[in-house]
Amino acid sequence: GLRERLKEYSNLGAKFTKWRGVYNISKTKPSKVSIYSNAHSLARYAALVQECNMVPIVEPEVLMDGDHTANDCFNKTSEVLKKCFEELIMHNIDLTGIILKPNMILAGSESKNQISNEETAKLTVKCLKESVPDEVPGIAFLSGGQTEEQATENLNLINKFNTTNFKMSYSYGRALQQSALKYWAKNTSDVQGTQAVFNHRAKMCSLAAQGKWTKELENK
Protein backbone atom coordinates (compact mmCIF):
# COMPACT_ATOMS: atom_id res chain seq x y z
CA GLY A 1 0.00 0.00 0.00
CA LEU A 2 2.97 2.37 0.05
CA ARG A 3 2.54 3.46 -3.58
CA GLU A 4 -1.07 4.49 -3.00
CA ARG A 5 -0.22 6.32 0.23
CA LEU A 6 2.64 8.19 -1.46
CA LYS A 7 0.30 9.33 -4.23
CA GLU A 8 -2.09 10.63 -1.59
CA TYR A 9 0.66 12.49 0.27
CA SER A 10 2.00 13.95 -2.98
CA ASN A 11 -1.46 15.23 -3.90
CA LEU A 12 -1.68 16.83 -0.47
CA GLY A 13 1.53 18.74 -1.23
CA ALA A 14 4.30 16.64 0.33
CA LYS A 15 7.68 17.17 -1.33
CA PHE A 16 9.88 14.69 0.51
CA THR A 17 9.66 11.56 2.65
CA LYS A 18 11.99 9.60 4.93
CA TRP A 19 12.62 5.89 5.53
CA ARG A 20 14.95 4.71 8.30
CA GLY A 21 16.87 1.47 8.42
CA VAL A 22 18.59 0.67 11.74
CA TYR A 23 21.77 -1.35 12.33
CA ASN A 24 23.40 -2.44 15.60
CA ILE A 25 27.11 -3.12 15.97
CA SER A 26 28.30 -6.15 17.96
CA LYS A 27 30.51 -9.16 17.32
CA THR A 28 27.79 -10.64 15.09
CA LYS A 29 25.88 -7.52 13.95
CA PRO A 30 24.93 -6.12 11.59
CA SER A 31 24.50 -9.39 9.76
CA LYS A 32 24.85 -9.68 6.00
CA VAL A 33 21.09 -10.38 5.84
CA SER A 34 20.31 -7.21 7.80
CA ILE A 35 22.59 -5.08 5.62
CA TYR A 36 21.07 -6.46 2.42
CA SER A 37 17.44 -6.39 3.63
CA ASN A 38 17.60 -2.79 4.78
CA ALA A 39 19.40 -1.69 1.61
CA HIS A 40 16.80 -3.40 -0.57
CA SER A 41 13.91 -1.86 1.38
CA LEU A 42 15.46 1.61 1.19
CA ALA A 43 15.89 1.25 -2.58
CA ARG A 44 12.32 0.03 -3.14
CA TYR A 45 11.02 2.91 -1.04
CA ALA A 46 13.17 5.44 -2.93
CA ALA A 47 11.89 4.14 -6.27
CA LEU A 48 8.26 4.57 -5.23
CA VAL A 49 8.92 8.04 -3.85
CA GLN A 50 10.61 9.26 -7.02
CA GLU A 51 7.79 7.72 -9.04
CA CYS A 52 5.50 10.15 -7.18
CA ASN A 53 7.83 13.11 -7.88
CA MET A 54 9.01 13.50 -4.30
CA VAL A 55 12.50 13.46 -2.80
CA PRO A 56 13.41 10.33 -0.80
CA ILE A 57 15.51 10.88 2.30
CA VAL A 58 17.44 7.63 2.66
CA GLU A 59 18.39 6.98 6.29
CA PRO A 60 20.64 4.00 7.06
CA GLU A 61 21.51 4.53 10.74
CA VAL A 62 24.33 2.61 12.38
CA LEU A 63 23.55 3.08 16.07
CA MET A 64 26.14 4.33 18.57
CA ASP A 65 24.78 1.97 21.25
CA GLY A 66 27.44 -0.50 22.39
CA ASP A 67 31.13 -0.70 23.24
CA HIS A 68 32.50 -0.85 19.69
CA THR A 69 35.39 1.32 18.53
CA ALA A 70 35.24 4.18 16.04
CA ASN A 71 37.11 1.93 13.62
CA ASP A 72 34.32 -0.67 13.94
CA CYS A 73 31.79 2.07 13.22
CA PHE A 74 33.79 3.23 10.19
CA ASN A 75 33.98 -0.28 8.73
CA LYS A 76 30.33 -1.16 9.31
CA THR A 77 29.03 2.21 8.14
CA SER A 78 31.11 1.89 4.97
CA GLU A 79 29.71 -1.59 4.34
CA VAL A 80 26.14 -0.40 4.95
CA LEU A 81 26.46 2.65 2.68
CA LYS A 82 28.08 0.74 -0.17
CA LYS A 83 25.34 -1.91 -0.12
CA CYS A 84 22.64 0.80 0.02
CA PHE A 85 23.98 2.55 -3.05
CA GLU A 86 24.48 -0.75 -4.85
CA GLU A 87 20.74 -1.37 -4.38
CA LEU A 88 19.75 2.23 -5.20
CA ILE A 89 21.66 2.05 -8.48
CA MET A 90 20.19 -1.39 -9.27
CA HIS A 91 16.70 0.10 -8.82
CA ASN A 92 17.53 2.97 -11.22
CA ILE A 93 17.23 5.68 -8.57
CA ASP A 94 18.16 9.18 -9.73
CA LEU A 95 20.92 9.83 -7.19
CA THR A 96 20.83 13.55 -7.93
CA GLY A 97 17.32 13.55 -6.47
CA ILE A 98 17.90 11.98 -3.05
CA ILE A 99 19.19 13.13 0.32
CA LEU A 100 21.30 10.77 2.42
CA LYS A 101 20.76 10.86 6.20
CA PRO A 102 23.63 8.88 7.75
CA ASN A 103 25.27 8.62 11.16
CA MET A 104 28.61 10.19 11.94
CA ILE A 105 31.57 7.94 12.70
CA LEU A 106 31.64 7.60 16.48
CA ALA A 107 32.88 5.11 19.02
CA GLY A 108 30.09 3.26 20.82
CA SER A 109 28.52 5.11 23.74
CA GLU A 110 29.91 2.46 26.13
CA SER A 111 33.34 2.25 24.52
CA LYS A 112 36.43 3.04 26.60
CA ASN A 113 38.18 4.24 23.45
CA GLN A 114 36.43 7.51 22.61
CA ILE A 115 37.91 9.71 19.90
CA SER A 116 38.15 13.49 19.53
CA ASN A 117 35.64 15.59 17.61
CA GLU A 118 38.34 16.28 15.04
CA GLU A 119 38.92 12.55 14.50
CA THR A 120 35.16 12.01 14.21
CA ALA A 121 34.93 14.67 11.52
CA LYS A 122 37.88 13.36 9.51
CA LEU A 123 36.69 9.74 9.67
CA THR A 124 33.15 10.76 8.71
CA VAL A 125 34.32 12.71 5.66
CA LYS A 126 36.62 9.83 4.66
CA CYS A 127 33.81 7.28 4.98
CA LEU A 128 31.40 9.32 2.87
CA LYS A 129 34.01 10.15 0.27
CA GLU A 130 34.80 6.44 -0.19
CA SER A 131 31.25 5.09 0.02
CA VAL A 132 28.83 7.63 -1.47
CA PRO A 133 28.61 8.38 -5.22
CA ASP A 134 29.49 11.95 -6.24
CA GLU A 135 26.05 12.49 -7.77
CA VAL A 136 24.38 12.66 -4.36
CA PRO A 137 23.85 16.39 -3.71
CA GLY A 138 23.15 16.53 -0.01
CA ILE A 139 23.95 14.77 3.24
CA ALA A 140 21.86 15.62 6.32
CA PHE A 141 23.32 14.01 9.42
CA LEU A 142 21.28 12.52 12.22
CA SER A 143 22.51 13.30 15.73
CA GLY A 144 22.14 9.72 16.94
CA GLY A 145 22.25 10.31 20.68
CA GLN A 146 24.99 12.95 20.73
CA THR A 147 24.59 15.96 22.98
CA GLU A 148 23.47 19.18 21.33
CA GLU A 149 26.89 20.81 21.48
CA GLN A 150 28.71 17.63 20.42
CA ALA A 151 26.49 17.22 17.35
CA THR A 152 26.94 20.91 16.50
CA GLU A 153 30.73 20.90 16.91
CA ASN A 154 31.10 17.68 14.92
CA LEU A 155 29.02 19.06 12.05
CA ASN A 156 31.06 22.25 12.08
CA LEU A 157 34.34 20.32 11.86
CA ILE A 158 32.95 18.05 9.15
CA ASN A 159 32.30 21.15 7.05
CA LYS A 160 35.77 22.49 7.76
CA PHE A 161 37.34 19.19 6.63
CA ASN A 162 34.91 18.61 3.76
CA THR A 163 36.84 17.93 0.54
CA THR A 164 33.80 16.59 -1.32
CA ASN A 165 31.04 18.25 -3.35
CA PHE A 166 28.42 17.08 -0.84
CA LYS A 167 26.39 19.72 0.95
CA MET A 168 26.81 18.69 4.59
CA SER A 169 23.86 19.71 6.73
CA TYR A 170 21.76 18.38 9.62
CA SER A 171 18.47 16.64 10.27
CA TYR A 172 18.58 16.55 14.05
CA GLY A 173 15.82 15.59 16.46
CA ARG A 174 17.09 15.46 20.02
CA ALA A 175 20.15 17.64 19.32
CA LEU A 176 17.88 20.42 18.02
CA GLN A 177 14.99 20.18 20.49
CA GLN A 178 16.26 18.88 23.84
CA SER A 179 17.12 22.21 25.52
CA ALA A 180 13.89 23.81 24.39
CA LEU A 181 11.84 20.86 25.66
CA LYS A 182 13.60 20.91 29.04
CA TYR A 183 13.07 24.68 29.35
CA TRP A 184 9.42 24.43 28.35
CA ALA A 185 8.77 21.59 30.81
CA LYS A 186 9.62 23.94 33.69
CA ASN A 187 7.00 26.50 32.61
CA THR A 188 4.74 25.61 29.68
CA SER A 189 3.31 29.13 29.60
CA ASP A 190 6.70 30.67 28.78
CA VAL A 191 6.39 30.28 25.03
CA GLN A 192 8.64 33.22 24.19
CA GLY A 193 11.49 31.94 26.38
CA THR A 194 11.13 28.44 24.91
CA GLN A 195 11.28 29.83 21.39
CA ALA A 196 14.42 31.80 22.25
CA VAL A 197 16.13 28.62 23.47
CA PHE A 198 15.10 26.75 20.33
CA ASN A 199 16.11 29.62 18.02
CA HIS A 200 19.59 29.70 19.55
CA ARG A 201 20.05 25.97 18.97
CA ALA A 202 18.79 26.24 15.39
CA LYS A 203 21.14 29.15 14.72
CA MET A 204 24.13 27.20 16.10
CA CYS A 205 23.30 24.19 13.91
CA SER A 206 22.89 26.39 10.85
CA LEU A 207 26.26 28.04 11.48
CA ALA A 208 27.81 24.57 11.88
CA ALA A 209 26.35 23.56 8.50
CA GLN A 210 28.45 26.40 7.05
CA GLY A 211 31.57 25.68 9.11
CA LYS A 212 31.08 29.00 10.95
CA TRP A 213 30.22 27.82 14.48
CA THR A 214 32.47 28.68 17.44
CA LYS A 215 32.31 28.01 21.18
CA GLU A 216 32.21 31.77 21.74
CA LEU A 217 28.99 32.05 19.71
CA GLU A 218 27.60 29.01 21.49
CA ASN A 219 27.98 30.61 24.89
CA LYS A 220 26.76 34.11 24.04
59 is a catalytic site residue: yes
The contacts of residue 148 (CB under 8 Å, 6+ apart) are 174, 175, 176, 178, 179, 201, 204
CA–CA separation, 158 and 24 (whole Å): 24
Residue 3: which residues within 8 A CB-CB, separation 6 or more?
48, 51, 52
Residue type, 180: A
Say whether the peptide bond before residue 60 is cis (omega within 30 degrees of 0).
Answer: no
Annotated catalytic residue within 101, 148, 153, 218:
101
Residue 4: active-site member = no
Query: Which residues sit opposite 47 in a β-bridge?
Result: none
Query: CB-based contacts of 67: which residues, under 8 Å, 6+ apart?
Result: 108, 110, 111, 112
Catalytic one of 59, 87, 153, 218: 59
- Catalytic amino acids? 59, 101
